[in-house]
Chain A
Amino acid sequence: MSETTSFSGNKGLQIEEKLIFEMGNPGAVAVDLPEPGPVDLDRMGGVRKRADLALPDLSEPQVVRHYTRLSQKNYGIDTGFYPLGSCTMKHNPRLSEKVARLPGLADLHPFQPRQTVQGALEVIDQLAWWLKQLTGMPAVAMSPAAGAHGEWCGLMAIRAAHEDSGQGHRRRVLVPESAHGTNPATAAMCGYSVDPIPAKENGRVDLDALKAKLGPDVAALMLTNPNTCGLFESEIIEIAAAVHGAGAYFYCDGANFNAIVGRVKVADLGIDAMHINLHKTFSTPHGGGGPGAGPTVLSAALAPFAPVPYVVSGPDGLELVEGRREGTKPFGRVKGFHGQFGVFVRALAYILSMGADGLRQASSDAVLNANYLQARLGDVLTPSFDGPCMHEALFDDRFLKDTGVTTLDFAKALIDEGYHPMTMYFPLVVHGALLMEPTETESKEALDQFIAVVRGLAEKAKAGAAEDFKAAPRHTPRRRLDETLAARTPILRWKA
């Protein structure tokens, strides 16, 4: 090892931290609870009292220090620039956290009588109103818990609508090759088979190929727009017409809605259903992988099939509909209770803060920032497509040809420069993809610094410094980890 090692293994602020199971001291407490008295065994249904729990005992300072140290081994959007394409890492406002913690919103039980939760129902109703206004769609199913869950909700509504109109034999779903993996996985969960459709040279759906695939057995097209290459599907209106002409529905994956909020109403594009990732477009925290929320807007044709529950306005104020009502044919229920309420509060706080003008400015700035990256990096990296992009810029690895440096190496070198890498190797339709999404959160100054670093790295790679790239990252709490070992000999929990 080239660097000096310390006795502790620590490196200044980078402190080694054991697992909680390797720490504890039996009898320590971090929560003082009253003495419960002897257990009433008569009420335990003949089941024995448990004696095999081996959880460690720690005190509060030990626990606080443990998680603080763990947090210091993470990179978040609060830490720095996080250009992870297709994931939309934008600033998470702290006001949203504050209002989500108001006891009048946080300390509510989902089954409280409705006269005691009118304000909570108003939050759901107001957010639904905004989502409908921003998309131009007549209805929204609020309960899906995440993007993939919203996709499933949309496709279930489509399947239910087809079953209802005697079109249940439609079992094929068309999905572009560039689609996110959740699209085909979702289609399969609804009993559909998946038929890939090719893209044209310019990265958009090949309309003629799509038309050739349409037929009486096609249930839906699933299309991401702007698509996973960061491009707007310029023929989307013709695509919608062709899909509808064949008796199928048009599902739009709304993962990239953040690029067009306030600039396009998706209803004008002819879509029938689209999920909205509140954690992307409306800036609720990603939390290291959830919780998110994926409300799904629906056309008039699909609205009757929306799942329960939903909020309606009645003579005594707002109420929740939890079962079948006249004139509706809900396809079922997608999760427990009433949706990701805590996420709704945060998303609505963001929307009210931004307003119609701010939301439009945010999508404009996001697109401007991405195009700025593409323009300033286009000569040293290799952009995959010509012309303006939307909210993310896609490059491939041609610029690394014959350098011995891979996309992965390049990304790991960025970590040593203090950046979170861009998305790598997705979408699959370009070789060695590097997908950069700066979002509206980054200032020009931050982008200029990043551009200088990427240019420097690209030139360094071309100058022949492959070994340096292979050794990156050097300055992280852990260097490259052996994923092969992890998969060949899975260790998925600590054992004594």
Chain B
Amino acid sequence: MRYLPLTESDRAAMLADIGVKDVDALFRDVPAAARLAEALPLPRHQGELEVERAFTRMAGKNLSAGCAPFFMGAGVYRHHIPAAVDQLLLRGEFLTAYTPYQPEVSQGTLQALFEFQTQVAMVTGMEVANASMYDGATACAEAAIMACRVTKRRKVLLSGSLHPHYVETTETSLRFTEMEAEPLPPDPLGLEDLLGRLDGDTACVVVQNPGFFGGIRDLRPLAAICHELGALLVVMVAEPTSLGLFDSPGAMGADIVVAEGQSLGMGMNFGGPGLGLFATRDKFVRQMPGRLAGQTLDVDGKRGWVLTLSTREQHIRREKATSNICTNSGLCALAFSIHLTLLGGTGFTRLAELNHAKAVQLEQKLSQVKGLRVLPDSYYNEFAVHLGDEVKAAEVVDRLVDKGILAGVPASRFYPTWPELAPVLIVAATEMNTEDDMDRLVAALKETLS
């Protein structure tokens, strides 16, 4: 077997050195009743050719995004990833290293994480960022927990602008704790009254910007009220390329910014793995969950990097840790960082402007479709549309699949018990969409809705 270097004669020699008859003797501590005498009756090993064939077959049963005009978003976005990103990720010294516990032989990972932390702090407009979390949803939940820890309060207000998966993950995380999640109903028009729900028990308000239905809000007034009442403002960013276009959450007064980093460097991969970004103010750094790389000096006085402030973490604090998280999303953080480095400040801004311009173009084209209304009056690269009172968006999506178009994400997938959301479709446009894609979508919608 190609991954196993020991030969039968190696094994025999080693067993002789150990002084046992066979390998079974090494498993003698396993209760006899639980020992399997031979391999399970399951398929045997296969060569590369056979395995590759099996995956090619499964891949062939999917409609990959590149084969269709594609307008899906709702938390996962399709962007162009420069070729250099993946080539660099495949370097074995990045790919096959563990968490950098031994800094002398991990300066590559550690410096990359330090750069990543700096980039995340810069784009979110915050002072400090950690080395990443599993994904946006878990980062959102951790932010809520951290806000309760900082404020010593227990109520977490979740805006209706928040992605339903983030809401569910946060609710689940608080479920068996002293903390309490208070989710607001879905808010496609940006009309919810958050201020009226705040009180002296509120640890934080969590809002998403741009919102799940696309709308952008100026967070300054909300930040002011939160701070007046002693609550924290947590801002979730589901589409990090949007940070290149308008004022950062930090500049608008956020205390914690969390984000899903998938848009940069990673591709969609059917939704996983993701990359949780987590940034906050310096004064909260000891309350922050997750790994941190920090700068220091070696014995020769040269600058280098180590994992630091680890007394917050589970391997030291155990049941009193800030979180049980043990790793970060290292390779995804590296992908994000390489992509952002390739873009640079100029490219990041241009990419954001390009995405916004594509969405504006899509809105203009969709306005030709009778009965269709764009719901938010502001957006970045994504917005919800209402297809008409009697129309079910999920059915329209299925009919457009038959025409080879992946038209968007129906809101009913997340809100099956909200009939008023059945006609709502969430569409996104990125730099990947051509004018021809948009024309095909518009033509197919006209045909389907008429």
A and B are interacting partners: yes
**B18 & A338 in contact (Cβ 8 Å cutoff):** no
**B44 & A286 in contact (Cβ 8 Å cutoff):** no
Closest B residue, CB atoms, query A152: B324
B297's partner among A64, A368, A481, A492 (CB-CB below 8 A) is: A481
Known: A362-B3, A440-B6. Is A104-B104 also a contact (CB below 8 A)?
no
Residue B115 at the A interface, CB < 8 A? yes
Most chain B beta-carbon contacts within 10 A, residue among A46, A55, A156: A55
**B64 & A107 in contact (Cβ 8 Å cutoff):** yes
**A31 & B347 in contact (Cβ 8 Å cutoff):** yes
Within 8 A of B (CB), among A34-87: 34, 36-37, 39-40, 43-50, 52-58, 60, 63-64, 66-68, 70-79, 82, 84, 87
**A residues in contact with B46, CB < 8 Å:** 352-353, 355
Known: A109-B76, A337-B274. Is A388-B28 also a contact (CB below 8 A)?
yes
Residue B147 at the A interface, CB < 8 A? no
**B residues in contact with A360, CB < 8 Å:** 36, 38-40
A388's partner among B26, B82, B137, B348 (CB-CB below 8 A) is: B26
Q: Which range holds the interface residue count of chain A?
A: 35 or more
Q: Name which of B54-62, B148-156, B196-204, B224-232 contacts chain A.
A: B54-62
**A residues in contact with B421, CB < 8 Å:** none
**A47 & B218 in contact (Cβ 8 Å cutoff):** yes
Q: How far is the CB of A84 from the nearest CB of chain B, in Å?
A: 6
Residue A120 at the B interface, CB < 8 A? yes
Interface string of A284-295 (1 = CB under 8 A from B): 011111111100
**A479 & B5 in contact (Cβ 8 Å cutoff):** no
**A residues in contact with B368, CB < 8 Å:** none
Residue B255 at the A interface, CB < 8 A? no
**A493 & B114 in contact (Cβ 8 Å cutoff):** yes
Question: How many residues of chain B have a CB within 8 Å of chain A?
Answer: 208
Interface string of A89-130 (1 = CB under 8 A from B): 111110101111111111111111101111110110000001
**B residues in contact with A39, CB < 8 Å:** 245, 353, 356-357
Closest A residue, CB atoms, query B343: A31
Closest A residue, CB atoms, query B63: A116
Residue B189 at the A interface, CB < 8 A? no
Interface string of A401-418 (1 = CB under 8 A from B): 000000000011001000
Closest B residue, CB atoms, query A98: B52
Known: A149-B134, A334-B169, A356-B39. Is A44-B246 also a contact (CB below 8 A)?
yes
Q: How far is the CB of A178 from the nearest CB of chain B, in Å?
A: 12
Residue A7 at the B interface, CB < 8 A? no
Residue A463 at the B interface, CB < 8 A? no
Known: A30-B343, A52-B125. Is A104-B327 also a contact (CB below 8 A)?
no
**B115 & A494 in contact (Cβ 8 Å cutoff):** yes
Residue A200 at the B interface, CB < 8 A? no
Q: Name which of A17-25, A210-218, A296-304 contacts chain B.
A: A17-25
Residue A191 at the B interface, CB < 8 A? yes
Residue A365 at the B interface, CB < 8 A? yes
Known: A332-B168, A481-B297. Is A76-B62 also a contact (CB below 8 A)?
no
**B134 & A71 in contact (Cβ 8 Å cutoff):** no
Q: How far is the CB of B178 from the nearest CB of chain A, in Å?
A: 8
New contact pairs (4) apart from A43-B379, A70-B111, CB-CB < 8 Å:
A29-B344, A90-B3, A104-B56, A156-B175
Q: Could you list some 27 contacts between A and B, CB below 8 A? A: A33-B350, A34-B354, A43-B359, A44-B245, A45-B217, A46-B378, A55-B345, A76-B96, A118-B61, A146-B325, A148-B324, A156-B176, A182-B326, A288-B99, A288-B109, A290-B273, A290-B332, A335-B135, A336-B75, A336-B135, A336-B138, A337-B75, A356-B39, A365-B4, A443-B6, A473-B105, A486-B296
Interface string of A383-415 (1 = CB under 8 A from B): 000011010000000000000000000011001
**A residues in contact with B283, CB < 8 Å:** none
**A residues in contact with B146, CB < 8 Å:** none
